[in-house]
Structure 1
Amino acid sequence: MKRVDIVIAAHNPQRRIDRAVSSIVNGNPEARAVVVCHNTSISSITATLDPVLVEGTTFLELNDSIPSPSGPFMFGMRQSKAEYVSIMGSDDQLEPGAVAAWLELADRYSADSVITRLTRGESRTLVRSPAARPWARGILDVYRDRLPYRSAPLGLIRRTALETLQLELTPGARNGGDLEFVSRLWSGGRVVYQKSGPGYVEMADADDRVTHVAKPVTEELAPLTGLLSSAWFSEQTKRTRRALAVKAYRRTVVDTIIKRPRVEDWSAEDLSTLAQIAAALHRIGISPFLSLAESRLLAAVMNSRVADFSAGVAAAKKYRSPAAIGGTHPLSWASPIGSFRYTVASALMR
């Protein structure tokens, strides 16, 4: 038995699953490729692969008629008996030696999770998250190392942590299904970050990812609403709740606005849902950590001033502007999750 099972969800025989499987079989011998054929037959997927790749891969079948990656990923991880599990997009790939690098870190620090070094596309553009402290080594902290900004559990997960930390991808979610999963893992597990070496490459050459399909805001943000209203979230420390909430505003809320650049893209229901979520984040106490531009955008969202959304996002992301770097509260400058230190730490990532 190999130490790592890497679960790939395959629902479309037209996708480049051969690239993902080959990167495991041919470049990472410490791992086993486990392909969950989701709402499609095993034969339809194996027909697209070289026989050598088929021989070196385990295939499972899940028919649940639900267009969500949560189901096949959890199905594959629960079937595993390996020491560690991992999930992988069917379009993506691992660099040769990535799994060995992860295992070395996991063994050195007795980690529950190793967050992989993540790059995108053929150009291997570095994904600047999490913006951990540059000097930090070993086990990281959810607040001081800004772990919530890594929104997908890519890398290694100790299989037993699925039960001990009660990790589950949100059933049925077409996007954001990993939000509560990583929130629990980053907050409660022993987590390390792979800052260098071979890692995970996220590709973007498929046009049918369910997470990219436009959806009503209520559905799109349902995982965030579920997290904020969960018993688990209410039991966390104030610093953990704020670390998660600040990230949710900067990424989840702002990304929702970016997807809808025109006033006519917003329905009354969409605006109401977004305003309610923004108000909930405000009550958690995110405002002191925000830059001046982020604070102005938050006020526009809470009051559904849709005409101000696009300009507000542009101002918040203009990182060379003083208004986008710091706010009026000292915490926006001094806190690890404040706008100033977050911006600097992101810029320092190499």
Structure 2
Amino acid sequence: MPEYDVDLVIAVHDPKRQIERAVGSALSGTRSPIRVTVVSHNTDAMAVRARLAAFADDARLRFLDLTDGIRSPSGPFNLGLEAATAEFVSIMGSDDELEPGAIDSWLALARRSRAELVLPSLRIAGGPRVPTPPARPLRRTGLDGVRDRLAYRSAPLGLVSRARFGAMRFPAGFAAGEDIEYVTALWYSGARIAFDRRGPAYLIHSDAPSRASTSVRPLATDAAILDSLFTSPQFRALGPRERDSVVVKLYRVNVLGWVANRPLESQWRDEDRQELVTAIERCRRAAPRAERLLSRLDRQVIELACMPGASTRALLDAASARRSRARPGALLPRRLRDAIRSEAPLRFTIASALVRFGA
């Protein structure tokens, strides 16, 4: 039997981050046998240890160091996964926090349901629940990648069984989106999946000066993961419905998010506009039917992005218009027969609202 139930891996890229908050919440808020591994990545490891001096005598805390010169979270997370020996592995952001009893709640759900993957409830610290994944109402066990829209949970937070997935690693070298390929392999694996939708939450903090997941980069950096994902054995093994569910999420969250995160014309270079077109073409080749599931307003943005001669101002105006969720164009696809699909915008919006309000 493993000595620990969970190996929790936290990567630290800057000793100014409040790593003591993340570590303290896990160690003080968990009764089950866990180990927290802090990986100092391309930074002052002694400064990281100094921030955690209050936990220096806790045998459940372990330090690893990685200096690889690569600005990617894949390296430190993979190092932590390599060193794991527990029944389950878990990852955590250095800025974030766990509500008391969160890991215990995940483990209890895993034991009851024999789940190999457990997704936690997410909440913005001091704010609302994060409505991902927009799973079927009340669904806690036996989740399905397509019907429960698991692609929208793009970070592998919670529990991952080492017996089933211990050999899996994050793709190396990507500064953004490295978790998309990893979670696609998890959610569509046929594994037993549970969602602790009403349990103690994983709290997402936004008080750091800059988070790698929210900073604006050259669009080519954001989009680089698509080729790796679409050529991966896991994606190539997916059926058409599964590919649609992955790619429609990429359109809604990633592609349209890249536009929304660059709201000023000055933030767009010619190279970024071309990279946006290339990313959309990759998505179209990977899942030709997925675009039909988008709302009319979402498709307008996609089509303007690819329209020769369309101005950046027109593109940004269309992206702004799609934010109004009450408009019919935001809730309906172009073909009404597509409105009954689980990924259709109205069903997706309702499911997201139910998760946000705890249903």
TM-score tier by shorter-chain length is: over 0.9
SS at match of 1:225: helix
Partner residue, 1:190: 192
Residues in 1 aligned to 2:46 and 2:265: alpha-carbon distance in whole angstroms: 46
Number of equivalenced pairs = 347
Query: Which runs of structure 2 are paired with 1:1-350 in the superposition (5 Å)?
Result: 1-30=3-32, 31-56=34-59, 57-121=61-125, 123-163=126-166, 167-188=168-189, 189-283=191-285, 284=287, 285-303=289-307, 305=310, 306-349=312-355, 350=357
Residues in 2 aligned to 1:42 and 1:265: alpha-carbon distance in whole angstroms: 35
Superposition deviation, residue 204 in structure 1:
0.9
SS at match of 2:235: helix
Matched residue type, 2:271: E
Q: In terms of mean alpha carbon deviation, does 56-65 or 192-201 score higher?
A: 56-65
5+ residue gaps, structure 1 = none
Q: In terms of mean alpha carbon deviation, does 244-253 or 41-50 score higher?
A: 41-50
Superposition deviation, residue 230 in structure 1:
3.0
Identity %: 35
Alpha-carbon distance change, 337 to 58 in structure 1, aligned in 2, over 3 angstroms: same
8 Å Cα contact 2:15-2:44 kept in structure 1: no
Alpha-carbon distance change, 264 to 12 in structure 1, aligned in 2, over 3 angstroms: closer
Residues in 2 aligned to 1:132 and 1:309: alpha-carbon distance in whole angstroms: 31
8 Å Cα contact 1:167-1:185 kept in structure 2: no
Superposition deviation, residue 79 in structure 1:
0.5
Superposition deviation, residue 106 in structure 1:
1.0
Q: In terms of mean alpha carbon deviation, does 267-276 or 175-184 score higher?
A: 267-276
5+ residue gaps, structure 2 = none
8 Å Cα contact 2:137-2:351 kept in structure 1: yes
TM-score norm. by structure 1 comes to 0.94
8 Å Cα contact 1:288-1:329 kept in structure 2: yes
Residue-by-residue CA offset, 1:252-282 (whole Å, 9 max, x unaligned): 0011001211223222221111112212323
Superposition deviation, residue 104 in structure 1:
1.1
8 Å Cα contact 1:68-1:210 kept in structure 2: no
Q: In terms of mean alpha carbon deviation, does 234-243 or 265-274 score higher?
A: 265-274
8 Å Cα contact 1:161-1:167 kept in structure 2: no
Residues in 1 aligned to 2:54 and 2:265: alpha-carbon distance in whole angstroms: 52
Residues in 2 aligned to 1:2 and 1:90: alpha-carbon distance in whole angstroms: 21
TM-score norm. by structure 2 comes to 0.92
Residues in 1 aligned to 2:334 and 2:55: alpha-carbon distance in whole angstroms: 61
